[in-house]
Amino acid sequence: MYSNCSKSILKSVVFAFLLLISLVVSANAAIVTVDDDGVAELRIGYQPSTHQLAHMTAMEKGWWAEDLAPFGVETVNEFEFQTGSPEMQAMLAGDLDVAYVDVVPAINGLASGLDAKIVAGVQTQGSSLVLHQGVSYDSPEDLKGMKIATFPPGTIQDILFKNWLIKNGLDPKNDLAIVAMGPGDAKAAIAAYQVDGVFLPHPFPSLIESEGHGRTVMESGEIMPDHACCVLLISGKLIRENPELVERIVKTHIKATEYNSEHMDTAAETFVTKTGLDVEIVDESLSNWDGEWIHDPYLILDSTIYFTQILYESGYIHYPLTAEDVFELSFYEKNPYGILDISSAPSAASVYLDGTYKGVTPITLQNIPVGSHAVKITKSGYNEITKTVSIRSDENSYVFESLQAAASEEVVVEPVKEVVDSGKTIKINSNPSGADVYINGDYKGVTPLHEAECEE
């Protein structure tokens, strides 16, 4: 039997031992938490349309894996969804970290408590209303009594189409039948004459036309010019715990978007590899659609907030969201500029950027906004060069041009206008202007020259 003193000592020893165990466990737990902050696997959702080709290009070229590896990402897994609603359900369930998704399901998800933010734009416009060849159409009124298939309620196509009908005096519930379908089912339905038309994102309108099952009668840009369509949505957990990784994700998205814009043929081949569609159809879709790949979130900010108001008024969400509720712009704002180095042979050529004179070659232009810009290089006696260059976030872009001598220009010397003291003052013009003028081997200037002095 233990004495009371022994029991007291034993209790003290046991308490100290338990306290030590507790501290060890706590320390280990802290280490685990730090480890858990890393992202070994990144899960990206997307839909199989040309709208979201930036993701496909980044995946196909290995940019996601290469660019994100320095941040501890060992695996990038992608998950395909036919429409945005199930994609947002997966994100709400915690199964996605990043989503290329249309803006309306993103808004619905955010209004339902989804912890995420839009960090960049992906694409604008890009959907078409396609009707059967034999269906007459001159105005929205002609859609009365028809059956039109489009994406399910709560998607950008559904909201755009119904809102357009209402603005044109039609009741979406009673004047026509709107059937909710994914792109594959809608394509099959119009081919089987089960619907009179479809309102779908590209490339499906071009695919339907190529099979002889319909013709495009309206583009989504006619409904709402430059409207937001697809966005890059990232989970709030990733934003809070791995901001540097999110910044790199945005950079890679910008890189893929600019690459696609510069290499349309390669972008089409990437989509064909991903989907198995005919490359000629994809090329035609990208040539004819009214969509545009973007990355600047400011281009879609106003239309996105406008959609939140429409969703609120339509009863899809319980309150309209603000820009702060929807967007996290800081990751895009951290690297919105690039550098452009321009040189030429010969040098000393004039450089214009987007119509504004910047100096002469060689020249380095700082703080150029990300995106496409027009560069013009001119030099007297040489052909002018105009080209489009793409500026990427926090990167150097280079332009070097070998100038070609212009064809000889005929200089027309007009009659002497005035005679002065020891010589004659004459006026010299050329077509085109800007020609160098030499008199008896001495350089006098460029045309038009109004006071070239000649000795008698």
Q: Is the pLDDT reported for residue 347 higher than 80?
A: yes
Q: What are the residues whose beta carbons fall under 8 Å from the beta carbon of 17, sequence distance 6 or more?
A: none
Predicted confidence at residue 451, as pLDDT, reads 58
Q: What pLDDT, on a 0 to 100 scale, did the predictor assign at position 408? A: 61
Q: Residue 295 and residue 40: Cα distance in Å, rounded?
A: 26
pLDDT tens-digit series, residues 115-126: 999 999 999 999
Residue 15 — very low, low, confident or very high, per pLDDT cuts 50/70/90?
very low
Paired residues of 376 in beta bridges: 352, 386
H or E segment at 41? strand 41-46
Q: Which parts of 236-394 are beta strand (E)?
A: 292-293, 337-345, 350-353, 356-360, 363-369, 371-378, 385-391
Predicted pLDDT of residue 134: 86
Residue 23: its pLDDT value, please?
33
Asked if residue 429 has pLDDT above 90, the reply is: no
More confident residue, 420 or 227: 227
Return the structure tokens found at 105: 């399901």
At residue 245, the pLDDT reads 97
The per-residue DSSP string of 328-342 comes to --HHHHTS-EEEEEE
259-284 residues labelled b (16+ CB within 10 A) or e (exposed): bbbeeeeebbebbbebeebeeebbbb
- For 97, phi then psi, to 5°, come to -100, -35
Residue 367: per-residue pLDDT: 67
Taken in order 53, 59, 61, 64, is the CA torsion positive or negative?
positive
Q: Is the pLDDT score of 339 beyond 60?
A: yes
pLDDT given at position 32: 25
| Model confidence at 206: pLDDT above 80 | yes
Cβ neighbours of residue 256 under 8 Å, at least 6 residues apart?
A: 53, 54, 55, 57, 58, 61, 63
- Count of Cβ atoms closer than 10 Å to residue 397 Cβ: 18
Task: Give the separation between CA 181 and CA 148, rounded to whole angstroms.
Answer: 10
Nearest to 239 by CA among 321, 332, 109, 106: 332
CA-based angle 345:347:350, to the nearest 5?
A: 115
Closest by Cα among 57, 70, 10, 435 to 269: 57
Nearest CA to 377 out of 360, 390, 394 is that of 360
Task: Specify whether the CB–CB gap between 282 and 96 falls below 8 A.
Answer: no
Q: What gap in Å lies between CA 365 and CA 353, rounded to an integer?
A: 9
Is 13 buried (19+), middle (13-18) or exposed (0-12) by CB count in 10 A?
A: exposed
- Which of 98, 53, 86, 81 has the alpha carbon at shortest distance from 271? 53
Q: What is the pLDDT of residues 365-420, one digit of tens each?
A: 976 877 778 899 999 999 999 998 888 766 788 899 999 988 765 545 554 444 34
Cβ-based neighbour number of residue 441 at 10 Å: 5
Highest mean pLDDT out of 209-213, 414-418, 440-444: 209-213
Q: Are strands 127-131 and 215-219 parallel, antiparallel or unpaired?
A: antiparallel
- Compute the 3-state secondary structure of the chain and give helix, strand, coil in percent, each to the nearest 5: 40, 30, 30
CA distance 151 to 140: 19
Give whole-number Cα distances, 280 to 175, 276, 449, in Å: 37, 12, 55
Report pTM: 0.69
pLDDT class for 422, splitting at 50, 70, 90? very low
pLDDT at 213 over 60: yes
Measured distance CA(53)–CA(100) in Å, rounded: 10
Q: What is the pLDDT of residue 20?
A: 35
* Spatial contact of 52 and 98, defined as CB atoms under 8 Å apart: no
Confidence tier at 453 by pLDDT (50, 70, 90): low
Asked whether the predicted pLDDT for residue 25 surpasses 60, the reply is no
For the stretch 34-58, pLDDT in tens is 235 568 999 999 999 999 999 999 9
